[in-house]
Chain A
């Protein structure tokens, strides 16, 4: 199937946070009570109840004010660390490319929370019992609330007043993002960049940025953590092999040793 994506143009975003509201509304996530911290950025962080949030970044220099906004939510990686570490496939790649999950089967281990290079998945956790459930943006594919299967746009895209968010086939959106970045460059934004084109083999959320990703608080070269690769790619398969070989080896030993024991017992009988 043709991969789908969201294109977010930070230069068009007015930080009205309608996407935050639409997300909560569609997915039935309650609002959180927060305190005024002297910023329009609210709530202060993602949470199991907040799957999308705008980050406000002041970039003003030498008296010239500058204020940029960044969308913070799951980036729906092609090479998704969370999918790799999930012990029972609760997190998986949707046929359209993004990262969906089945909350019912989630074990609450929290491995995805530690593995995600963007620090996106969050969980409710009882620290004593360890009972937990993970939540994150599903790109509106939650069972029973699946807008994509209906042929609709995700709730955040649908509501975006300045059309800073777009949803569609990945390739045309990538082309549009590239064009937009070129236009920004010709206007003097030398560091303009299309984030997500190549990162982690392609993200299914593309960001048009008028500056380098670091300015926006994004990891410049996001990677699947090395421990994840070592653990899931080497240690764990090695464990299956070692455990399997041990059982096979013991079985073989039993067959050989049993014959030897019977032979010896017979010999001892004879010598009596």
Chain B
């Protein structure tokens, strides 16, 4: 069997899948208020109850993760904010790569490529926006001023539009795009089993692969 390298540790994968579940429920129970023809599904407010149960998971899961893995969390969050010349290279190569499946055109990438980094940054920023605006609407619905509550709805909506659209892109690029098939090669295997083939690591995340094969501190997120 081909040699494999660890890409995501178990706690990271558990956090990912808990948030997948929570976000999917939050997304769908929010969508029913966003698209008028679906509005009848929100009747009597039962979707709001589901939304809150999922929200509790969505808030608690990352908090527990950060408390138990604060070192990995700190460096992971830092990664989202470090941008350099290679990110420009990714942006230039991306159309050729994703439309023409030209894998040679892509400059070597770190543990997270630029696209993943953009999504990760959105998750952090809009995740915080979601939680703050959501908690205000939940807990202060009857005490906060009307103007504040309306502002919160507006911000919650903007975060929803941004992350909701990119949610499709994320799923598509991880498991549907022709380059991500068969599933055992890349993204799916890294999040499902935590491991990817050494060949995949070398061809898709060369800078990261170089670091771990030189025996530097293994950072697998």
Q: Which residues of A contact B (CB under 8 A)?
A: 87-90, 104-111, 113-115, 119, 125, 127, 129-133, 225, 227-228, 230-231, 235-236, 238-240, 242-243, 246-247, 250, 253-254, 256-258, 260-261, 264
Contact = CB atoms under 8 A, between A and B. Distances in A.
Contact of A235 (B44, B102, B139, B161): B161
Contacts, number: 142
A243 B147 contact: no
Given A231-B153, A257-B99, A108 B48 contact: yes
19 contacts: A90-B39, A105-B40, A107-B44, A108-B48, A110-B149, A125-B141, A127-B142, A130-B138, A131-B49, A132-B45, A235-B154, A235-B158, A239-B157, A239-B164, A243-B161, A246-B166, A254-B178, A260-B100, A260-B102
A51 B25 CA distance: 36
B178 A110 contact: no
Contacts of A87: 32-34, 36, 39, 42
A130 B45 contact: yes
Interface in B158-192: 158, 160-161, 164-166, 168-169, 172, 176-179
Contacts of B102: 260
A54 B134 CA distance: 36
A105 B43 contact: yes
A125 B142 contact: yes
B142 A225 contact: no
A261 B42 contact: no
Interface residues of B, number: 48
A246 B177 CA distance: 14
Nearest to A245: B165
Interface of B: 32-36, 38-40, 42-49, 51-52, 98-102, 138-139, 141-142, 146-147, 149-151, 153-154, 157-158, 160-161, 164-166, 168-169, 172, 176-179
Given A231-B153, A235-B154, A235-B161, A256 B42 contact: no
Given A109-B33, A242-B161, A88 B179 contact: no
B154 A231 contact: yes
A227 B33 contact: no
Given A108-B45, A131-B49, A227-B147, A250 B168 contact: yes
Contacts of B166: 246
B48 A243 contact: no
A147 to B, nearest CB: 26
Contacts of A105: 39-40, 43
A253 B44 contact: no
Given A88-B42, A131-B48, A261-B178, 20 more contacts: A89-B36, A89-B39, A106-B43, A108-B44, A109-B42, A110-B141, A110-B149, A125-B141, A129-B45, A129-B49, A227-B154, A228-B150, A231-B153, A235-B157, A246-B169, A250-B168, A250-B169, A250-B172, A260-B101, A261-B101
A225 B45 contact: no
A261 B101 CA distance: 6
A89 B176 CA distance: 36
A107 B172 CA distance: 32
A210 B176 CA distance: 70
Nearest to A240: B35
Contact of B168 (A111, A130, A247): A247
B133 to A, nearest CB: 13
A130 B101 CA distance: 48
B203 to A, nearest CB: 14
A127 B136 CA distance: 12
Contacts of A107: 33, 39, 42-45, 47-48
A61 to B, nearest CB: 32
Contacts of B176: 250, 254
Contacts of A90: 39
A88 B39 CA distance: 4
A260 B98 CA distance: 10
A186 B178 CA distance: 82
Given A114-B149, A257-B100, A261-B178, A230 B44 contact: no
Contact of B48 (A130, A240, A253, A261): A130
5 closest A-B pairs (Cβ-Cβ)?
Answer: A88-B39, A239-B161, A114-B146, A107-B42, A130-B48
Given A125-B142, A247-B168, A131 B99 contact: no
A91 to B, nearest CB: 11
